[in-house]
Structure formats: C-alpha cells, structure tokens
C-alpha cells in the first residue's frame, strides 16, 4: 500500500516537473510595431509579433518556406484554375470566443480588396473576382484570371483572417485564432502574448511570450549579455556575433531571408539609361568585399532578383563578376572613358550605410564618383522611391517572391521592358509547376542580362538565442517569429 502511494506521489511529482518546464520567453526586437493590424501596414514588426502566433490565414508558411494548410484544411482548384473551394477547419474559435466561420473569410478577403482598403499588399487580392460562403465551413473564391501563386499569396501576413466582431479595435487589441492570445502592450517597451488554452491545433509549449523592443545595438548587446532577454531576433550588430558564438550560453542562428539586397539604378536617368553603363557598374562591384566588410561575412551573393534557397533560383552571379578592367572598358565603350559623377542615396539599415561606403570606393576605382547622402526612410520614400530623384541607391527587398516588381514600369528603378511584363503576366496565369519554374528562371535571366540593378547579396538573418531555447526558425520565409513550436530544453 505504502509503495502504491509512494508511486503515485512520485508520478505526481514527475508530472509537476514536466509541466514546470513550460515557461515564458522574452524575445528582443529592434523595431516596435506601429499598431497591431497586419492587414493595414507594411511594417515587418507587426508580422514578426503576430504572424501565426495570433493571426492565421487560409494557408501558412512553414519554416522552410513551403505553403501548407492553415485555417483551410484542404482545397480544390477547378479545371480552369479560376475557382478555389476551401474546406475550413471546424471547431475553431477566435480569442474573444466567437466562432470562426466562412463569413469571417469572406469578410477578410472583401475588406482587403475593397476600394478604400489600406492593405499594404492589396495586389495580392487584385485577382479575386468574388468570394462566397457556401456553408459554415466551405468558401469559394473565384478569380478573374488563373493565378499560379494564389495559395502562396493567401499565406502572407497581409492575408490573415480577421473577424468583423473585433475589427474595430484590431489596431490595439488584435483578436485572431492562433495558438497565442494578445495580452498587453506597453507602448515603447513590450508586447506580451499568452497561451491560447482552446487552440484548435497542437497547443503552444510556452505559457507566454514577451516581445521587448530595443532599438540601440549597444543596449541590445547589454540586454542579451545580462540575460534579460532569451533571444534577439535579427540581432542588429553583426560585429558582436563572434563573441556570442564563443559564449556557451548562446547560440547564433544564421539563416536565409527573402531579402534581395540590390543597388538599384535609375534606369531612365542618364547615364543609367545606357545598358553598357549599368553593366559596367555591375562589374565594378566586388560582392564578397561588401559581404565581408559590411555584413561580417553573413550573406549569399546573388546575380539576379531571386532568393538563392528557392528551388527555381539560377546562379547568375557570373554575368556580373568582379572585373574592374572590364568595367572601365565598358564605360569607355559607352562614351564615359573619364567616368562620371552620380548620387548614391542610402536609407538607414546597416547593409545600406556600410555597404554604400564600400561600393563608393569600388566605383571610384573605375572612375565613377558618387556623392553619398544618408537618408531616413521617410526621406528615401519621398526622394528616391516616389520622386525618382537618385542615381544609385541600396535597398533590401524583403517581400517573398517579388520579381514581379520589374514588370511595373513606374516602380522606382523605372525598368520598362514589355517582353518582361508579358512574361510576368503569363507566369501569374500559369498553374503548372514545371512551366512556372521555367518561366521564373527566364525572368531571372532577363533582368540579370539587362543589368537592371546591381544584385549584391541575399540578406542573412542572424539571431542570438539562449542555448536552451529550441524551435526558433533559423530562416525567415516571411517576417515572422513563429513561437508555436518553441520550447525550453531542460
């Protein structure tokens, strides 16, 4: 008898031990979300806090970037590729207790594509002709044209499902269906989430999470070293990473992002309207010097506007290999044997500021003098992006699969190639994966061979994580800190 009791007590103690493992986590981030509605702003910080944790879409990105079922359990695509019939999961509730139903999906999609919509990625929804809630768990979406990446588009943070009941206060009190509930926002300091006890899927292993916003790199270093925070997502000072790597308390995660870092050229502004000049600029740049010098070795060289970890990527870095002599010869051929002067406008991120200094020195070697101006984002948007008032500029394009921007002649680098525009239109309508891959590769080649921009490197994501914290995504297929599978190792 005694033994039985002892056994029970031991089992209870073990159980208690097992549950005690569940803990909170504090994640450091540099930028704070402006508000908490992922469907009405471009700020990556909103998705980083809320994507998949609080809000879910019909489909979702996995850690490797593949798209799988989210709130939609399964789907059927009609023969002509125009009708998508989604079967929704049943028994799903929003955090405020209301049921998740097909009407919530139609509400979300219709809101995003409405005329007065302020969705930062409204183009994702442009092709939707109509939405229809067939019954509580079935929804039919009809497209205007077939669209090969529709399911991919629906996985974006800008396409998450929101409820009409809670939309009014979404900016300060987000109500979703995810494994975590929003709990508190101390503006300027932190956002906390707590575990959703009635989650439809596998419950979160953490009890809660706090995102703490620390913009200053030195402060980030101090907070990490003092173990005030458990992980710093996208650590802002690459020069400290070696120190963290050497410290057994921490692990440095270096992964891929969707950020193609390019030096954009103003394709309509002389002399960059001359392809020879653009080609010369591309050959004048030594990518590895930039990756080593500005990014402390983190980053993958690219030769076109496409993520190297994507199966459809073609390595075209050879088109613009580092060759200053060739660059000089091309400049002479274009009529600029003595070089020329232009502007180099740099937004705030370190890749631009540090990379810009190195590029300026490299361009000087071939006779191109650049006048560097450091701009804030708002100034950059006004001058370079909207006003086309720049010669060269450095930006990382972090949206996944965004080669389509080259088909927009009014886009800031002003590349206007009807052949390319047609190719992208065809690609959008194509459903066959093999053909899509072929077309994506063709698109990569066209912009690489046209030397539209100088393609520098794929931005790496480097995070510093407490060695006992497991399950943080090393790669960033979208801007998300997905905590649903994160746990503490004993």
Partner 1 sequence: MLRYTVLRTGSLLISLIVASLVIFFTLEVVPGDPASFMLGINAQPETIAALREELGLNLSPWARYVGWVTGLVQGDLGVSYTYRTPVAEIVAERLVISLPLAGYALALTILIAFPVGIWAATRRGSVADISVMGATQLGIAIPNFWFAMLMVLVFAINLRWFSAGGFPGWDEGFWVSKKALTLPAISLALPQASILARVMRSSLLDTLDQDYIRTARAKGLTKGQALRGHALRNALIPVLTIIGLQFSFLLAGAIIIENVFFLPGLGRLVFQAISQRDLIVVESVVMLLVFAVIMVNFLVDLAYSWVDPRLRGRR
Sign of CA dihedral 284, 285, 288, 292: positive
Binding map of partner 1 across residues 389-418, x = CB under 8 A, - = no contact = ------x-x-x--x--x------x------
Q: Choose one: 41-49, 292-300, 422-430, 454-462; the region binding partner 1 (CB under 8 A).
A: 41-49
Query: Is residue 51 a contact residue for partner 1 (CB under 8 A)?
Result: no
Query: Is residue 222 a contact residue for partner 1 (CB under 8 A)?
Result: yes
The distance of closest approach from Cβ of residue 449 to partner 1 in the complex, given in angstroms and rounded to an integer, is: 24
Query: Is residue 41 a contact residue for partner 1 (CB under 8 A)?
Result: yes
Considering only 188, 248, 318, 418, the residue that binds partner 1 (CB under 8 A) is 188
Considering only 149, 190, 192, 282, the residue that binds partner 1 (CB under 8 A) is 190
Query: Is residue 239 a contact residue for partner 1 (CB under 8 A)?
Result: no
Query: Is residue 35 a contact residue for partner 1 (CB under 8 A)?
Result: yes
Considering only 22, 42, 167, 358, the residue that binds partner 1 (CB under 8 A) is 42
Residues numbered 294 to 313 that lie near partner 1 (CB under 8 A) are none
Cβ atoms 479, 50 nearer than 8 A: no
The distance of closest approach from Cβ of residue 63 to partner 1 in the complex, given in angstroms and rounded to an integer, is: 23
Cβ atoms 302, 318 nearer than 8 A: no
Query: Is residue 167 a contact residue for partner 1 (CB under 8 A)?
Result: no
- Locate tokens 């899927």: which residue? 201
Query: Is residue 115 a contact residue for partner 1 (CB under 8 A)?
Result: yes
Q: Choose one: 5-13, 77-85, 210-218, 361-369; the region binding partner 1 (CB under 8 A).
A: 210-218
Query: Is residue 376 a contact residue for partner 1 (CB under 8 A)?
Result: yes
Residues numbered 423 to 482 that lie near partner 1 (CB under 8 A) are none
Query: Is residue 374 a contact residue for partner 1 (CB under 8 A)?
Result: no
Nearest CB to partner 1, comparing residues 116 and 338 = 116
Query: Is residue 172 a contact residue for partner 1 (CB under 8 A)?
Result: yes
Considering only 100, 213, 298, 313, the residue that binds partner 1 (CB under 8 A) is 213
The residues binding partner 1 (CB under 8 A) are 32, 34-35, 40-43, 115-123, 171-172, 186-190, 212-216, 218-219, 222-223, 225-226, 228, 376-379, 381-383, 385-386, 395, 397, 399, 402, 405, 412
């Amino acid at each position: 008898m005694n033994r039985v009791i002892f056994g029970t007590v031991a089992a209870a103690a073990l159980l208690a031990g097992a549950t005690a493992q569940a803990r909170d986590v504090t994640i450091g981030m540099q930028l704070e979300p402006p508000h908490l509605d992922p469907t009405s702003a471009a700020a990556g910080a909103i998705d980083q806090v809320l994507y998949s944790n609080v809000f879910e879409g019909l489909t979702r990105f996995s850690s490797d970037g593949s798209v799988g079922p989210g709130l939609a359990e399964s789907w059927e695509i009609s023969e002509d590729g125009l009708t998508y019939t989604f079967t929704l999961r049943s028994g799903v509730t929003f955090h405020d207790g209301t049921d998740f139903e097909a009407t919530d999906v139609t509400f979300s999609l219709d809101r995003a594509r409405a005329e007065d919509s302020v969705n930062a990625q409204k183009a994702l929804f442009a092709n939707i002709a109509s939405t229809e809630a067939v019954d509580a768990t079935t929804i039919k979406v009809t497209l205007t044209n077939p669209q090969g990446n529709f399911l991919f588009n629906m996985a974006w943070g800008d396409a998450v499902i929101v409820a009409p009941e809670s939309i009014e206060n979404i900016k300060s009190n987000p109500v979703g269906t995810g494994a975590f509930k929003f709990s508190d926002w101390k503006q300027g300091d932190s956002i906390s989430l707590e575990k959703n006890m009635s989650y439809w899927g596998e419950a979160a292993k953490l009890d809660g999470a706090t995102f703490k916003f620390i913009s200053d790199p030195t402060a980030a270093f101090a907070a990490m070293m003092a173990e005030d925070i458990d992980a710093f997502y996208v650590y802002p000072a690459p020069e400290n990473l070696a120190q963290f790597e050497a410290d057994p308390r921490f692990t440095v995660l270096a992964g891929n992002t969707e950020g193609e870092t390019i030096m954009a050229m103003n394709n309509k502004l002389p002399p960059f309207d001359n392809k020879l000049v653009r080609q010369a600029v591309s050959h004048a740049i030594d990518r590895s010097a930039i990756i080593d010098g500005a990014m402390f070795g983190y980053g993958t060289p690219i030769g076109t506007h496409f993520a190297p970890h994507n199966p459809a990527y073609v390595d075209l870095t050879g088109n613009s290999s580092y060759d200053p002599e060739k660059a000089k010869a091309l400049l002479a051929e274009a009529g600029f044997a003595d070089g020329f002067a232009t502007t180099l406008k740099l937004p705030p991120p370190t890749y631009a500021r540090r990379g810009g200094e190195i590029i300026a020195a490299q361009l000087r070697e071939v006779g191109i003098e650049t006048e560097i101006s450091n701009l804030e984002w708002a100034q950059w948007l006004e001058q370079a992006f909207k006003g086309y008032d720049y010669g060269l500029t450095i930006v990382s394009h972090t949206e996944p699969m965004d080669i389509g921007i080259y088909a927009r002649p009014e886009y800031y680098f002003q590349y206007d190639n009807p052949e390319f525009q047609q190719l992208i239109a065809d690609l959008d309508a194509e459903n066959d994966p093999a053909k899509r891959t072929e077309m994506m590769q063709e698109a990569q080649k066209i912009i690489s061979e046209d030397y539209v921009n100088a393609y520098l490197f794929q931005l790496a994501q480097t995070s510093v994580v407490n060695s006992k914290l497991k399950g943080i995504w090393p790669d960033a297929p979208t801007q998300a800190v997905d905590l649903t599978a994160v746990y503490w190792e004993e």
